[in-house]
Amino acid sequence: MKRACVIGWPIEHSRSPLIHGYWLKRYGIDGAYIKEAVRPEEVATFLRSLAERDFVGCNVTVPHKETAYAIADERDASARAVQAANTLWLEGGKLHAANTDTYGFMMHLDHAAPDWKAHEGPACVLGAGGAARAIIHGLLEAGVAEVRVFNRTRARAESLAEIFGPRVKVFDWESRSNGSRDACLLVNTTAAGLKGAGTLGMDFSGFNSDCVVADIVYVPLETELLARARARGLRTVDGLGMLLHQAVPGFEKWFGVRPQVTDELRAILVADIEGRTC
Ligand code: ATR
């Protein structure tokens, strides 16, 4: 039986076992996918002993994505671009790393807003952490001419812009509403909007009516940001689709089947989100 896991600290909240468990059952695969609570000081040891622990690979979540990237023997282009890894697998005795957050976000954006066009205006990104790096990489690859980054701590946005070059421009956090009015896409990558974590205070008046507003937060499913955008008639893209799509490449690597993100799977996750408080 092939076994994979998700590691994080804490890990209890992770919904990855629900996703991979659904696919294992659906495709009749004799496999398992479990949660492993791994403390920061134990990550390196854990990842170097994946084979002895009888795992073919794992997902990596907060706060271990950068450590996983550093420890891997081989890093694919997606991981190198983001300098963080969320998907690991053993191949030829080596630990391989990828970052599937970029893929997850872009796939879901294309599904949820198929007429979204990368060249129809700047894309605005709130936040400058690891998730922002993954999304900015995807947007630049998709052909967005200008990405504007708004971050509470401006210096962090400036470091991020240096990685990506002149197409990424830094703006003050206070200008996040005024400075996004001509955007074709606005994405929240910060934890604000997560239940109990404050609000972003975005004002969508005067926004380009074709702007798509996306949030990577999926608890609640409709964040305050998305509700405000919807009330203004803007198209919205929730964070759950990114979670579902980012899981696809890992499952294929570990279990040999490219799984489908189905309405049934999404409904299972929605029920879980609505039934839990975190
Ligand atoms: P991740 O890997 O999920 O992106 P991270 O690297 O810790 O997580 O980054 C979190 C991002 O959310 C940062 O951009 C952070 O802003 P700072 O750099 O100023 O800390 C942002 N963030 C977190 N809470 C926020 C809040 N309440 N309002 C605005 N931005 C917030």
pLDDT tens column, 199-232: 899 999 999 999 999 999 999 999 999 999 999 9
**How far is the centre of ligand 1, averaged over its atoms, from the C-alpha of 269 (Å)?**
25
Residue nearest (by alpha carbon) to ligand 1 atom 7? 129
Q: For a ligand 1 pocket test, name from 190, 194, 200, 218 the mutation site with the most ligand atoms within 8 angstroms of its C-beta.
A: 190
User: In this predicted structure, what is the pLDDT of residue 186?
Assistant: 98
**Taking all residues of the chain, what is their mean pLDDT, rounded to a whole number?**
96
Ligand 1 midpoint to CA 2 (Å): 36
What's the gap in Å between 191 CA and the centre of ligand 1?
Answer: 6
Say whether pLDDT at 1 is over 90.
yes
Give pLDDT, residue 192. 84
Q: Is the pLDDT of residue 276 over 80?
A: no
Cα–Cα distance measured from residue 35 to residue 198, given in angstroms and rounded to the nearest whole number: 28
Is 0.85 topped by the overall pTM? yes
Ligand 1 centroid – CA 256 distance (Å): 35
Kindly give the number of the ligand 1 atom that is closest to the alpha carbon of 62.
2
Phi/psi region, residue 206 (left: phi>0; alpha: psi -120 to 50; beta: rest), is: left
Burial of 65 (C-beta count, 10 Å sphere; 0-12/13-18/19+)? buried
Q: Give the C-alpha separation, 31 to 24, whole Å.
A: 6
Going by pLDDT thresholds of 50, 70 and 90, the confidence category of residue 198 is: confident
Contact 148, 124 (CB under 8 A): yes
Is 35 annotated as catalytic?
Answer: no
Q: What is the pLDDT of residue 277?
A: 62
Mean pLDDT, to the nearest integer, of 123-133?
96
Atom number of ligand 1 nearest to Cα 127 = 14
Backbone angles phi, psi at 248, to 5 degrees: -60, -55
% of the chain exceeding 90 in pLDDT: 93
Task: Tell whether ligand 1 has an atom less than 6 A from the beta carbon of residue 154.
Answer: no
Instruction: Quote the strand ranges of the chain, DSSP E.
Output: 2-8, 31-37, 57-60, 74-75, 87-91, 94-98, 123-126, 147-151, 168-172, 185-188, 212-215, 235-237
Residues 92-97 have a mean pLDDT of: 97
